[in-house]
Amino acid sequence: MPLQVLDHPLAGHLLAALRDKSTPPEQFRRLSKSLTTLLVLEATRRVGTKEIEVETPIQKTAARVIGQKLAVVPILRAGLGMLEPAVDLFPDVAVGYIGLERHEDTAVARSYYSKLPDLEGRYTLCLDPMLATGGSASQAVALIRSCGAEQITMVCVVAAPEGVARFEASHPGVPIVAACLDEKLNERKYIVPGLGDFGDRLYGTP
């Protein structure tokens, strides 16, 4: 499935503030939460529903509710900045964690932690704010699939064309929902124009 870029004025407004290098960590976290809320809402548009009957103060009526279990898997550590909005929106969601660390010289991700629930039958979101080379996202989704997930959506803030191409080659049919498709990767494999190191800006680390 093709990349889906979030088309909403508020998304662009929030992303502009996230890109600004003068945005302090506490504001960066608030902005990330607001933007992730929009991304998660869009990413769960295709979640399964069912019809029930409810009684209003006036009469009984048919209503539609979520009829499928959900799971969310942030890629540590930057993905943690996207977790809270997903749990706020879907309190019963199952949460797993995948730790991947990118080597600064090779840009190859190394796995150092994985804790995933049984994902069979669950509509699963994988959260990673920066889809740069696509290596971490591809590894993470492979792990998620190994735990039984079939319906998976990749959710990120900013994506690079190189990362999208690699991810789609590794996992054709898995949707990507992002706030923006940026220009390219630079020689250090950072997204251009991007917004810097998401994790460092989120937690105020150098």
Give the integer Cα–Cα distance in Å for 204 and 206: 7
Respond yes or no: is residue 106 known to be catalytic. Answer: yes
Q: Which residue out of 19, 29, 77, 102 is catalytically annotated? A: 102
Q: Report DSSP state, residue 22.
A: T
Residue in 19, 29, 145, 197 annotated catalytic: 197
Alpha-carbon span 72 to 41, nearest angstrom: 13
CA atoms of 144 and 147, how far apart (whole Å)? 5
Catalytic residue among 106, 110, 118, 205: 106
Please name which of 33, 155, 123, 41 lies closest in space to residue 89, comparing C-alpha atoms: 41
**C-alpha to C-alpha distance for 206 and 10, rounded to whole angstroms:** 29
Is 197 an annotated catalytic residue? yes
Helix (H) or strand (E) holding 3: strand 3-5
Of 29, 77, 145, 200, the catalytic one is: 200
Catalytic residues: 102, 106, 197, 200
